[in-house]
Structure 1
Amino acid sequence: MLIVQLSDSHLSADPTRRYRDVDADTRLTSMLARVSRYQPDLIVVSGDVSDDGSSASYQRAAASFDALGCPWVWLPGNHDHPATMSQVRALESVIHSSGWQILLLNTWIEGEEGGRLGEAQRAQLEAQLASDTSPALIVLHHPPVSVDTDWMNEIGLEDREAFWAVLGRYDHVQAVLCGHIHHEMTCLHRGVPVMSVPAIAAQFVPDRPDFAVDACAPGGFRLIRLSMEGMRQPRLSTRVEYVPV
């Protein structure tokens, strides 16, 4: 099974409005043209589809994803409006395919840049992992780990320790994917790979104490191949493909 992770397109109701001096709609079109070459089995969009939470931006994004002709799902980021989003396309929480479970978490907090799962959603996550022992891939918008950018750590996942307490009770979580940080990151946290993906729109500069945008950095998407090998052992391989500005 081949999954493509996309994130942070930051579309607006007005397709001519720029996001941090970037033409977000043109970036999305270029990105999806490259994605289409791979004919993925599933596209997962890990939040900040919209920059203004408008119905028009979601409708335009959904039409673009539909045009690829493969299944796709999305989850909200801090710039999104989940209720509006779900009117255009439902927010799914679990997908089963090829012997895997893909768990899509909602970390949105109204009016906040940071994210939170909350007690109820953490309980649902625990119930899902306890009841289904197939290999799990978890996707959320806000990074559940510290990153190499100080200001970003202030707006990451607020209840990350409680999240990892849940994951620590199960050994079938194979990886965690996130968005939000607008550049690629890969780390191993408590034995679980955690990976982010470049934004579709503008990229943020890592390793800085203050906010900055790299106008020349390419966007990108993550390719994730999931399989089950001998003796039903899960295998996950991944890489990021960059799409020049």
Structure 2
Amino acid sequence: MESLLTLPLAGEARVRILQITDTHLFAQKHEALLGVNTWESYQAVLQAIRPHQHEFDLIVATGDLAQDQSSAAYQHFAEGIASFRAPCVWLPGNHDFQPAMYSALQDAGISPGEARVYW
């Protein structure tokens, strides 16, 4: 049986989630997508949310974390998220290569999420 992520709920029965999506990182940090250096953009987002990290209980990374599907790009994502206290789970996007994503993020302690669709 797979282990499940459980979050402690202090006092109030609510979970505050921070979603990070579409970072489109490359193996080379100087690479750009549509004229935007994705590593610098990711760093700017992390810098903006870092002062508020006590306000969320879980980070959900929802796909397109890498643009070039490289293990290095996923490792760069993990490096950026490593300083946050909240656990992080991920879901793949259409640009992601799941074997590289799983390996690099699992090694960094970032767990795969599970997407279920109900009709």
Of 93, 107, 112 in structure 2, the residue corresponding to residue 92 of structure 1 is 112
* 2:84 is equivalent to residue 68 of structure 1: yes
Give the helix-richer structure, 1 or 2. 2
For 2:71 and 2:45, the matched residues in 1 are separated by 22
- AA of the residue aligned to 1:92: P
Alignment partner of 1:89: what SS?
Answer: helix
Is the Cα contact below 8 Å between 2:102 and 2:112 reproduced in 1? no
Alignment partner of 2:50: what SS?
Answer: helix
Name the larger-Rg structure.
1
Structure 1 residue runs without a partner (length 5+) = 94-103, 106-124, 126-162, 168-245
- Give the number of equivalent residue pairs: 99
Q: How far off is 1:22 after superposition?
A: 0.2
- AA of the residue aligned to 2:89: V
Q: How far off is 1:88 after superposition?
A: 1.2
Give the strand-richer structure, 1 or 2. 1
Structure 2 residue runs without a partner (length 5+) = 1-14
- AA of the residue aligned to 1:36: R
* 2:95 is equivalent to residue 79 of structure 1: yes
RMSD of the alignment, in Å?
Answer: 1.4
TM-score by length of 2: 0.76
Residue pairs, 1:142-221, within 5 angstroms: 163=117, 166-167=118-119
For 1:74 and 1:28, the matched residues in 2 are separated by 16
Of 13, 26, 39 in structure 2, the residue corresponding to residue 25 of structure 1 is 39
TM-score by length of 1: 0.38
Is the Cα contact below 8 Å between 2:58 and 2:86 reproduced in 1? yes
* 2:63 is equivalent to residue 43 of structure 1: no
Q: Structure 1 segments of 4 or more deviating over 4 A?
A: none
Give the structure, 1 or 2, with the largest relative contact order (CA under 8 Å, sep 6 or more): 2
